[in-house]
Structure 1
Amino acid sequence: MHGWLAWLGVVAIPGRAFWDVDLYRWWATLALDGGRWPVLDDPWVYPAGALVPVLAPALTGARSTVDYAAGWSVGITVLDALAVAVLLRAGRRRRVPAGAWWWVTFQLALGPVAMGRLDAVVAPLCVVALAVGLRRPRVAAALLTAGAWVKVAPGALLLPLVVAVRRPGRTVVLPAAAVSAVVVGAVALGGGLSRIAGFVTTQGGRGLQVESVAATPWVITALVDDRVRIVFDTVLSTWEVTGPGTAATARALALALPVALAGLAALLVRSAASPVDVLLRGALAASATLLVVNAVGSPQLVGWLAAPVAVALTVAPDRRAWAPAAAGVLTLAALTQVVFPWGADGVVGGDPWVTAALVARNLGLVALLVGALRAVGGPRRVSRPAA
């Protein structure tokens, strides 16, 4: 499967599938050969920890587009293999390793974007963190925090982890703080402390991305109304919708997302579900919240949904109850691949069939979020069980 995705990204359609990977190569070359380092010398759209995977292929000497993309693919394959190994070990008492098979199938359904973005680095970290979360919460907290310093999303999974484990201050907060201290200290030594939070302001100024759930009404309207246009943001290299109400919606979502996550945290605290359900269902709800209540909607973000489902199919006592979510997330991944990379030109060009696939995907994300929140809510917790 990874060979197929790598062939698509490195050989068949590199400009479409692995365009971001070549951008990573340019940043790495600029840093190692030109002495201009993201974060340390210039503001960056990503957290500082993203420098590690971006530099990794170039440190082997890969400078050409093909060599760097091949090295990137090898690195992602190794990380995913480790995640599969953890899933197999976690489910070793079961004859059919459903979670491991589902994880590989999901990546195939999502397509080359499952390998060709920074999210491909954090996805296996989330799988490992959730798989060991209740047995080794310190390890899980460190992995999720490290992932959050590459792409912010894994940090949201700390919410269900805090609620699911005992003594969260010692087992979650302290390891997370330690990892953050290491990152901040390294950036400070490099002279980039004043720019360490630059990714927050950079992302905060972006508009309504065309693939986002909130952009759906405008994407449909753009088919028949010239007042709504799909334009390319040259600064962030993304396609956005512009028209009446889009800017206000993007600003409202920036405020609504932290409120939605706070509401999810309250649901988790009040839930009477078992710790494993709080962790995994909470992780799925947190990931779906990040996708739905967000002005950003890049195709690779659907990968955030995979880790809790793969782990649940491996360790959850009620694996059959996860079957609808597992099938739904696979469908969402397949629809996403239709939109990107194969239908990318159709979205910005107003192709009705590709637009229909995008609308169906976004409606499915909303349905998944509603179902995840209902599963998290459950009966109210009256009192915490005694140790």
Structure 2
Amino acid sequence: MTRSAPAAPLVWALFTVAHLLVAVLGWVLPSQPMGDVVLVYLPWSSSALGGGAIVGITEPWVYPQLALVPMLLAHLPAALLEAAVGAQGAYLIGWAVLVTVCDLIAFAVLVGRGRSRARVLAGGFWAAAIALLGPVGMYRIDAVVVPLAVVGGLWLARRPVVAAVLLTAGAWIKIWPGALVLAAIVALGTRMRVALAAVATTVFLLLALLLAGAGGYAFGFLGEQTGRGLQIEAVAATPFLWMAATGTASISYSYDILTFQVAAPGVELTAALLTPLMVLMVAAVSSVGVWSIRAGAAGQRLLPPLALALVTALIVTNKVGSPQFQTWLIAPIVLWIVCDRARALTPALLALALCALTFAIYPVLYDALLHAQPLPILVLTVRNVVLLILFIHSIRAIVHAAADRR
């Protein structure tokens, strides 16, 4: 298309309204979907700004160190709001403003004036995903990674070095954008430039962390993750939740990592096996991608399903399984719609269903889930089954990418 698509203004409006909607819902829905922002992000960032402990630098932290940057940046709009109108809950509003601005910038890269119908459709998918997932998709650190991953994914083919830098920076906020880097190394002819840019960015960040005094905490987030228990929303926790419904397992709160976990015979072993299983799963998916590219698959055709399969593998083998993990699916599916919108229809619909089901679980049915009631456990079970279906569909798409070229 050479002129603006008629739907472009509409999708821009829907994207903006979706942000306003979820920002407001965070204040009114149960279970405090915006709680992490004020209960953990605000104290962490305030401590760093006030000369106290700096997470990831002077003490171990559950996140990679760059995750502190957006938490600090949110103080800027918060301070402006406080100075202008004395707004209550200014940091929460500042966080919502930061996320919205980041998303709008990425959305402009994606949709622009709407000259590509595929990009407009991808923008519509993104707007729908935001609205269906609800406030947990905004009031979590994952929200600032999504726009980085969207832009990085779109630029992988034509601007591989810049894309790799963006995605690697995103991986130093939350690890999952590294899956897009890995997919590009497997699928694209620019793999060497992507790999070198990713390594150079990581080396630069590590040197900066060492100069800042991070010392032994540079990779502390890896140890924090491997030591976690099995969170109730994790796919692997599903059978234990049904045991909790019958009274043979329990749900308890971990004050160390601020999450609800399951406790039952076999839970510790399951949690211990998930991390090596994740590594094996990522290796296996990557191997299927290597086979596909050697069998003649086109790189642009292979990249989106491979990225989605890797990201979905990180979710289904994760011992955490937090509701905001569904935001990880947005960037690979946006890329898939842009590259091959006909074949992207099924994964896009599955992802939207996952967002809606996740919203039903958290925050709507979350209190009932904590009491191990059958309805929320059933909804969560369906959600986890759909995740597995999406993973299998992505693997099939990787295989078909090679078969269709024969």
Alignment TM-score, normalising by the size of structure 1: 0.93
Matched-pair contact (CA < 8 Å) for 2:188–2:300: no
Matched-pair contact (CA < 8 Å) for 1:27–1:38: yes
Does 2:135 align with 1:135?
A: no
SS class of match (1:296): coil
- Paired with 1:37 and 1:58, the residues of 2 have a C-alpha distance of 16
- Paired with 1:96 and 1:278, the residues of 2 have a C-alpha distance of 18
Does 2:218 align with 1:196?
A: yes
- Paired with 1:378 and 1:95, the residues of 2 have a C-alpha distance of 21
Paired residue for 1:310?
334
Paired residue for 1:87?
110
The structural deviation recorded for 1:54 is 1.1
Paired residue for 2:41?
24
Structure 1 stretch displaced more, 194-203 or 155-164: 155-164
Q: Deviations over 1:262-312 (max 9, x none)?
A: 111111111132211221111110111011112110000011111111222
Matched-pair contact (CA < 8 Å) for 1:184–1:193: no
Paired residue for 2:275?
254
Matched-pair contact (CA < 8 Å) for 1:283–1:308: yes
Unaligned 5+ residue runs, structure 2?
A: 1-17
Paired residue for 1:376?
398
CA RMSD of aligned residues (A): 2.1
Matched-pair contact (CA < 8 Å) for 1:48–1:183: no
The one-letter code matched in structure 1 to 2:20 is G
The one-letter code matched in structure 2 to 1:360 is V
- Paired with 2:113 and 2:205, the residues of 1 have a C-alpha distance of 30
- Of 117, 120, 135, which aligns to 1:97? 120
Matched-pair contact (CA < 8 Å) for 2:245–2:372: yes
Paired residue for 1:345?
367
From the superposition, tell whether residues 267 and 249 of structure 1 become closer, same or farther in structure 2 (CA, over 3 Å).
Answer: same
Paired residue for 1:335?
357
From the superposition, tell whether residues 184 and 65 of structure 1 become closer, same or farther in structure 2 (CA, over 3 Å).
Answer: farther
- Paired with 2:23 and 2:66, the residues of 1 have a C-alpha distance of 24
- Paired with 1:156 and 1:320, the residues of 2 have a C-alpha distance of 23
SS class of match (1:241): strand
SS class of match (1:230): strand
Paired residue for 1:39?
56
The structural deviation recorded for 1:60 is 5.3
Equivalent pairs: percent with the same residue?
Answer: 38
The structural deviation recorded for 1:96 is 7.7
Does 2:313 align with 1:289?
A: yes
Q: Deviations over 1:105-145 (max 9, x none)?
A: 11101000110101101111111111111111111111110
SS class of match (1:43): coil
Paired residue for 1:175?
197
- Of 99, 102, 110, which aligns to 1:76? 99
SS class of match (1:360): helix
- Paired with 2:113 and 2:213, the residues of 1 have a C-alpha distance of 42
- Paired with 2:162 and 2:104, the residues of 1 have a C-alpha distance of 19
- Paired with 1:117 and 1:377, the residues of 2 have a C-alpha distance of 34
Paired residue for 1:49?
66
Paired residue for 2:285?
264
The one-letter code matched in structure 1 to 2:227 is G
- Of 235, 247, 269, which aligns to 2:256? 235
Does 2:109 align with 1:107?
A: no
The structural deviation recorded for 1:91 is 6.2
Matched-pair contact (CA < 8 Å) for 1:17–1:112: yes
The one-letter code matched in structure 2 to 1:187 is L
- Paired with 2:118 and 2:144, the residues of 1 have a C-alpha distance of 29
- Paired with 2:367 and 2:313, the residues of 1 have a C-alpha distance of 27
The structural deviation recorded for 1:175 is 1.1
SS class of match (1:231): strand
Write out aligned runs for 1:111-126 (5 A): 111-126=134-149
Q: How many corresponding residue pairs? A: 378
The one-letter code matched in structure 2 to 1:375 is A
Matched-pair contact (CA < 8 Å) for 2:160–2:194: yes
SS class of match (2:321): coil
Matched-pair contact (CA < 8 Å) for 2:242–2:377: yes
The structural deviation recorded for 1:228 is 0.6
The structural deviation recorded for 1:230 is 0.7
- Of 217, 222, 225, which aligns to 2:244? 222
The structural deviation recorded for 1:178 is 2.0
